[in-house]
Structure 1
Amino acid sequence: MSKQIYGIRAIIEAIDASQPINKIFLQKGLSGDLFRELESLIRKQGISSSYVPVEKLNRLTKNNHQGAVAQISPVEFHDFEVLVENIVAKNNSPFFLLLDQVSDVRNFGAIIRTAECCGVDGIIVPKSGAAPITDDTVKTSAGAVFNVPVAKVDHLKDAIFYLQSSGVTVVGATEKTEKHIYSIDFKGPCAVVMGAEDRGISPSVLKMVDYKAKLPLLGKIGSLNVSVACGVFLYEVVRQRSK
């Protein structure tokens, strides 16, 4: 399961060794050459981080943390371009899922579980702002996180462009359209984009998709939980491909 690395030098070495780091907690007000080196590496690699009081670090570990604690993902992340190339090469109708700033670990876990059941070939998330893969994610996914490859990218827009150039049709799930999901053809190579719990898909990402589609909502409540909506979208792909 997930583990922690503590100590500035140890975390620098972990970053240099390409360890799958979820997030790094840094002590507020700390300085020094080694600390600044770590900060520079974090910015360069686009690793999620936050500055916290020393009391937070003390709660995370009883060891001498030196002002820095890193949380390591329990799974290895895949290289995005290699993942796409391999899947497209061996599958005539690849099926991808992109998550734009989905930040709740339990929603993330539930989505991964559904994606695995629906035969999704790969899940793509941004390095910054996305929910980390924690023990809660693993538990909520019922272990499915170990069966579906997950890739992190610097910018979701670049990932969409790369998928499109690889022959993959990208469909964004949004209420900002008149087109229903049931009018979209999902039989060919496709990718579904789901947005954040509170904001949906960001405008800059939404501009990139090939099609926008929404779910018909017949009640008084105007939206579904993102993991539920994602399940409906993914199973529409399954339904069409099962015919």
Structure 2
Amino acid sequence: MEGNTQIFGIRAVIEAIQAGKTIDKIFIQRGLKGNLFSELNHLIQTHHISSSFVPAEKLNRLTRKNHQGVIANISPVDFYDMDNLVMEVMESGKTPLFLLLDQLSDARNFGAIIRTAECTGVNGIIIQKKGGAPVTADTVKTSAGAVFNVPICKVDHIKDAIYYLQSSGVKVIAATEKTENTIYDVSFKEPVAVVMGAEDKGISASVLKIADEMAKLPMKGKIGSLNVSVACGAFLYEALRQRI
């Protein structure tokens, strides 16, 4: 499967959820009502599926088919359970390297990051269920297929993932300009998780507050920031350099 498969209609989406399909996101027409909608909404809440209420025009742009007010994207990949993944990596004897993406929203940036993560030996990528970039056809293409080789975990809250990693002996390093430390001042040799923020606003303040360390890239140009996928690559390759 090369990209998302779209399914249409309330009943079809309900059946997909009940069948255990990995739903990446559901788009629902604003104002939709009725018993079937109530059943769908209950399943969305129960399974913590990302969803958005949108105008009918948005749905009509997504497909020309009779969508009946609901369109769902089935992810081309299955997501991993974070607890199990962390345990497996810790027990493997490897020095863990995880990547957390805090509200990253661009599918192509996500794909580029996945590609670099695969090349640098990242053991898993952790994203938030709501508000994060979906795994789309653009993600798959930009990752050059790496999306099928790197475990991706979806969690309810990035902060909870950080607390779990820290309790498992993993140091959390936040990539932010709000520090004097550069990536050359911190150690990536022990078990580490790197946090990258959103394209427009960076890492949220609540996440920065609980990180073990913060680090930035030295900048010499007039432009004060890099594309997040480029910045992520610099962090991951510094981790790789220190480890070899």
State the alpha-carbon separation in 2 of the partners of residues 4 and 112 from structure 1. Answer: 23
In the alignment, what sits opposite 1:179? 181
2:184 match: secondary structure: helix
- Structure 2: runs of 5 or more not aligned: none
TM-score relative to the length of structure 1: 0.95
- Tell me how many residue pairs correspond in the alignment: 242
- 1:183 is displaced (CA, Å) by 1.0
Give the alignment's Cα RMSD to 1 decimal: 1.3
In the alignment, what sits opposite 1:57? 59
1:215 match: secondary structure: coil
Q: Residues 181-214 of structure 1, C-alpha deviation per residue, up to 9 Å, x if partnerless?
A: 1111111111100000011100111111110111
1:207 match: secondary structure: helix
In the alignment, what sits opposite 1:26? 28
- 1:15 is displaced (CA, Å) by 2.0
Change (3 A) 1:91 1:45: same
In the alignment, what sits opposite 2:199? 197
Within 5 Å, give how 1:153-172 maps onto structure 2: 153-172=155-174
Q: Residues 189-242 of structure 1, C-alpha deviation per residue, up to 9 Å, x if partnerless?
A: 111000000111001111111101111111111111100000000000000001
In the alignment, what sits opposite 1:117? 119
Identity of aligned residues (%): 67
In the alignment, what sits opposite 2:104? 102
State the alpha-carbon separation in 1 of the partners of residues 24 and 15 from structure 2. Answer: 15
1:218 and 2:220 aligned:
yes
State the alpha-carbon separation in 1 of the partners of residues 48 and 188 from structure 2. Answer: 33
Moved more, 130-139 or 5-14: 5-14
State the alpha-carbon separation in 1 of the partners of residues 47 and 137 from structure 2. Answer: 23
- Structure 1: runs of 5 or more not aligned: none
1:146 and 2:154 aligned:
no
Instruction: Output the amino acid matched with 1:21.
Output: I
State the alpha-carbon separation in 1 of the partners of residues 57 and 203 from structure 2. Answer: 36
- 1:41 is displaced (CA, Å) by 2.2
State the alpha-carbon separation in 2 of the partners of residues 126 and 208 from structure 1. Answer: 17
Moved more, 13-22 or 111-120: 13-22
Runs of 4+ aligned residues of structure 1 deviating over 6 Å after TM superposition are none
Match of 1:15 among 9, 14, 17: 17
TM-score relative to the length of structure 2: 0.95
Instruction: Output the amino acid matched with 1:140.
Output: T
State the alpha-carbon separation in 2 of the partners of residues 122 and 197 from structure 1. Answer: 21
1:87 and 2:89 aligned:
yes
Q: Residues 130-154 of structure 1, C-alpha deviation per residue, up to 9 Å, x if partnerless?
A: 1000000000001110110100000
- 1:95 is displaced (CA, Å) by 0.7
